[in-house]
Amino acid sequence: MSRIFNFSAGPAVLPEEVLKEAAAEMLDYKGSGMSVMEMSHRSKVYETIITEAEADLRDLLSIPDNYKVLFLQGGASTQFAAVPMNLMKNKVADHIVTGQWAKKAYQEAQIYGVANKIASSEDKTFSYIPDCSDLPISEDADYVYICENNTIYGTKFKTLPNTKGKDLVADVSSCFLSEPVDIAKYGLLFAGAQKNVGPAGVVIAIIREDLITEDTFPGTPTMLKYKIHADAKSLYNTPPAYGIYICGKVFKWLKDLGGLSVMKEKNEEKAALLYDFLDQSKLFSGTVRKEDRSLMNVPFVTGNDELDALFVKEAKAVGLENLKGHRSVGGMRASIYNAMPKAGVEALVAFMKDFEEKHSA
């Protein structure tokens, strides 16, 4: 068996311990004689899996009792519609547009009501987070929407926006569980699992209870109603059962490591290795304003497209894979999620040093 260092933005690297455990349990989960993939989601065995997954997640994030945890499907993109369909009571939402995913959510919200773009960083290719301390929040806004970590551009809100009392809705897909957060600051947060948590398809939404009502946009499909899933404890229909099982294992892995404060320290240490190198490099440079840098996604360039392409190709040849930047920005991007070992970042930096020596004039 040989595993590479996988710097993909998602689906992304998962903890090796989790994959090994899942492999060992593949044919016979805890004496049940079957795989979790083959199991009824209504069985006692599965009930324990999903109940423990929720309990461990609540523990990790200290989720207050007045928040529901929902395991949903359809990827994070489905939430771009579910959020306005469920939460736009006045049919007004204020959006901060800091990247492609934020833009897609903003465009989707326009189908269901008035979506106001109250701030944007598009003027500089989304390379920074705008000042959100005193934005023109609409009086009748149902919520303020952000994408907290911008996977493609590598920026992160270090301070949440001042929403002037409005509920904050955040897409946290690419920073979920990378550090502790205060859930009470959000009305709703959601994350597609395939970056920091598990297999694609699963979406985790954490929603304050009073936001879960029967008053949804006319015609909202049953499957997109938060109340349906909350009342059924995420078992209204067949959930992405195997995916949730893997997420549960990742939650236990995080707890065993010492929880999210420890994870944050590890992530800061890994990111510093890469950013410190970039800051002194004569060949490579980071593309993001320093104070807005993400701990999870690190875009960088040489300034020469051909050299960038050669870097990606040669890195792949030595087992450093998926370093090509998003097709909309080019260059390189190293996604260094929770499960990326420090050794992976060290290997990347060592390779960058060699490459720089070879290619500096």
Ligand X SMILES: Cc1ncc(COP(=O)(O)O)c(C=O)c1O
Q: Per the residue annotation, which of 56, 68, 94, 101 is the catalytic one?
A: 101
* 56 in Cβ contact with 253 (< 8 Å): no
321 is written with which tokens? 């894979």
Nearer to ligand X, 75 or 319 (CB): 75
Closest approach of ligand X to the CB of residue 292, in Å: 15
Q: Catalytic: 101?
A: yes
Q: Per the residue annotation, which of 195, 227, 270, 324 is the catalytic one?
A: 195
Q: Which secondary structure element, helix H or strand E, spans residue 144, and what is its range? A: strand 143-147
- What is the Cα gyration radius of the chain? 21
* 6 in Cβ contact with 322 (< 8 Å): yes
Q: Per the residue annotation, which of 171, 227, 270, 292 is the catalytic one?
A: 171
Largest CA distance in the chain: 65
Q: What distance in Å separates the CA atoms of residue 195 and residue 73, rounded to the nearest whole number? A: 15
What DSSP character marks residue 159? S
Q: Which secondary structure element, helix H or strand E, spans residue 207, and what is its range? A: strand 203-208
What DSSP character marks residue 279? H
Nearer to ligand X, 187 or 240 (CB): 240
Give residues in contact with ligand X (CB under 6 A).
Answer: 10, 75-77, 101, 147, 151, 171, 173-174, 192
**Chain position whose Cβ is nearest to ligand X:** 75
Dump the DSSP string for 101-135: HHHHHHHHHTTTSEEEEEEE-GGGTT-S----SS-
Closest approach of ligand X to the CB of residue 110, in Å: 17
Nearer to ligand X, 93 or 352 (CB): 93
Closest approach of ligand X to the CB of residue 132, in Å: 17
Closest approach of ligand X to the CB of residue 162, in Å: 22
Closest approach of ligand X to the CB of residue 243, in Å: 12
Q: What distance in Å separates the CA atoms of residue 224 and residue 105, rounded to the nearest whole number? A: 15
Residue 335 CB burial class (10 angstroms; 0-12, 13-18, ≥19): buried
- For tokens 């875009």, name the residue: 299
Closest approach of ligand X to the CB of residue 192, in Å: 3
- For tokens 């987070």, name the residue: 129
Q: What distance in Å separates the CA atoms of residue 187 and residue 181, rounded to the nearest whole number? A: 13
* 75 in Cβ contact with 224 (< 8 Å): no
CA dist 218 → 85, 86, 187, 227, 316 (Å): 8, 10, 22, 15, 50
State residue 48 phi and psi, 5-degree precision: -65, -40
Q: Catalytic: 195?
A: yes
Nearer to ligand X, 173 or 338 (CB): 173
* Cβ neighbour number for residue 328 with a 10 Å cutoff: 11
Nearer to ligand X, 155 or 302 (CB): 155
Q: Catalytic: 171?
A: yes
Closest approach of ligand X to the CB of residue 334, in Å: 15
Residues annotated as catalytic are 101, 171, 195
